[in-house]
Amino acid sequence: MTVLSVNVNKIAVLRNSRGGREPDVVRAASTCINAGAGGITVHPRPDRRHIVADDVLALAALCRGKVEFNIEGNGFAPARDGYPGLLALVRDVAPTQCTLVPDADGQLTSDHGFDLRADGSRLRPLIADLKDCGVRVSLFMDATADDIARAAELGADRVELYTGPYAAAFASGDPARTLAQCVAAAEKASRAGLAVNAGHDLNQRNLPDFAAAISNLAEVSIGHALIDESLYAGLAPTVHAYLEILRA
């Protein structure tokens, strides 16, 4: 079954807006794990707007031996006060997976994938360094990218399809073209020996069609929508609802 990895960044956003330790990111992640989630995802950013380095250490300890732990981020963002850099965090905690994304420092959220013709030469040594840590590496990619197969040549194990355009098209009532693009991208990745992850704006309404269409979907990373929905239904029941979709 496709792994559900819950992104807990939004829990940290809420905590940081008030200061202190509540809501507790580790407690929220533990609730998701106990409800059946197969992974926890974090995206620590240099501006420390949500997940911070201490959270990464605590969540790594929670996940170890239980579920997958996925750290997302820009591997080229320099270290600074309170942020040791993505590679340093990976070396410290040895997550299951590191998902590289081409985000600028102040970017609100991920909104595009890598252009491997432009970024490939920089990514290759970074991917090698991450693999030396014993970490699975995934690259965030647009479904329309014509160079997805090159991710394998650079040493990556997986690609994560950016599903924002699919979610937007689904919301407008006409997702057929963007869903077909995602299916084609997943097939290209599979032929290149890459496993396929997906994430961004997936929710309980648009996930069923997406998961049904992509037979080789290894993992979905869902944060914003899941936390939003859990405000009304509760965190554990919302995780259960997503797992039922993926089982179907």
| Residue among 43, 50, 219, 229 flagged as catalytic | 43
Look up residue 80 and give its DSSP letter. B
Output the CA torsion sign for 100, 193, 136, 133: negative
Confirm if 190 and 216 have CB atoms less than 8 A apart.
yes
C-alpha to C-alpha distance for 26 and 61, rounded to whole angstroms: 10
Whether 240 is a known active-site residue: answer no
| Residue among 22, 68, 187, 200 flagged as catalytic | 200
C-alpha to C-alpha distance for 141 and 163, rounded to whole angstroms: 9
Using alpha carbons, list the distances in angstroms from residue 167 to 183, 195, 205: 14, 21, 9
Instruction: Pull the structure tokens for residue 145.
Output: 């990218």
| Residue among 72, 160, 219, 229 flagged as catalytic | 72
C-alpha to C-alpha distance for 63 and 43, rounded to whole angstroms: 15
Look up residue 79 and give its DSSP letter. P
Q: Is 65 exposed, middle or buried (0-12, 13-18, 19+ CB in 10 A)?
A: exposed
Whether 224 is a known active-site residue: answer no
Catalytic residue numbers? 43, 72, 200
